[in-house]
Each structure stands twice: as structure tokens, then as C-alpha cells.
A and B are shown apart, each in its own frame.
Chain A
């Protein structure tokens, strides 16, 4: 069953803690992305990676970190430096190059800071 998965579905964090959100895909996509979605707002790009061992900052990278050690995996760490981390986090993947442009999204992780 091909697709993109995220875990956990819900995550609660105490202030001052780092937490890591998981994103895995078996679509053989080269590119992966992390977005943040706040209520009533669009998706804002946090980080993206076009190839293993390489990634770039998006529009709101402060307080977040990522790694891309495997093609299938792109975990996102929300650090204590992120002052307002409560949000819905979406991971996505796509092929590279000039082919189909669709980004496939995971089901999301809802993070709440207690």
C-alpha cells in the first residue's frame, strides 16, 4: 500500500521540550516537505528536501530542525525555541523534475503545547 504516513496523530508537549514528528513515504519520491497549518490559515512551508542529506529552509524555519538521512524519511523536530508550536503539521512528498507536479500529503500531526 503506497503512501505517506505521519506519526503520531496527536502530540502533547510541555513548554521547554523538544519533540520529533515522524514522516515516512514509500512512493519513491525524491522531494519531501514540512508545512505548518494554523486555524483559518493556509499552509506555510517550514523546510523542504530535494535529495538525501540535503534540505533548505522554507518561510518559517525558526525553531524547527530536520534531517534527511534516508530517502523515505524526513523527521521534523520542534525545538523549545519555537515560541508558538501549537498547530497542525503536514508532511508532503513529490517527484523531482518537470513531470507530474502533485504533492502528496500525509494525514498530519496535531501538536498541542500544554
Chain B
């Protein structure tokens, strides 16, 4: 399927477990982003990547790890899940800044519950 996809769409896990959320885009966009959305906080940036093998922290990176070995994939790992990481997670992608029209495309989201 063309576009940006996330998997799984729903996940329930337990405190202390490792969880990986997947993100895949078919446009070969240079930039990819991970956000979490919580009531009262809007969208907060966790990590982003400007290209393969280049990642950087966002506003709320603690407790998360990312990697980008291929341009099209940007997995987000919670190394030891905590209840405060219960949230809806959105992946997004965008073209390189010089070619960008500021349009950032979002995936459908992953709803994660940590018990």
C-alpha cells in the first residue's frame, strides 16, 4: 500500500516489557518523526530522523529508542514500558526541507496501553 503505515494499530503490554512500534513509508521521504498524543498535551515529538542512520531527540525522548537503517522504516522501541507511556503514537514523514511544502504526512496511529 502506498503512503505511511503503522503497526500494530493497537497494543496492550505490561510494565517492564519491551515494545516496538513499526512505521513504514513508501514515498522515500527523507524525514520521519515519532509523536505521542495525550489529552491536554497535543502532539509531542519523541524522536525524528533526517535520513537513514541520522536520528535526533525531540521534546520527550526519555524511555524511547529509535533506529533508521533504511529510509522507509523508522521503528520506535520502548525498552521497558511504563504506564506513563500509555498513549497514541503517530509516525509522520516529510520531504527534505529544500523541497518541502511543509506538508507532513501522518500515519493512522498506534494506541498503546501499558498495564
Is B a genuine binding partner of A?
no
- The chain A residues found within 8 Å of chain B, CB to CB, are none
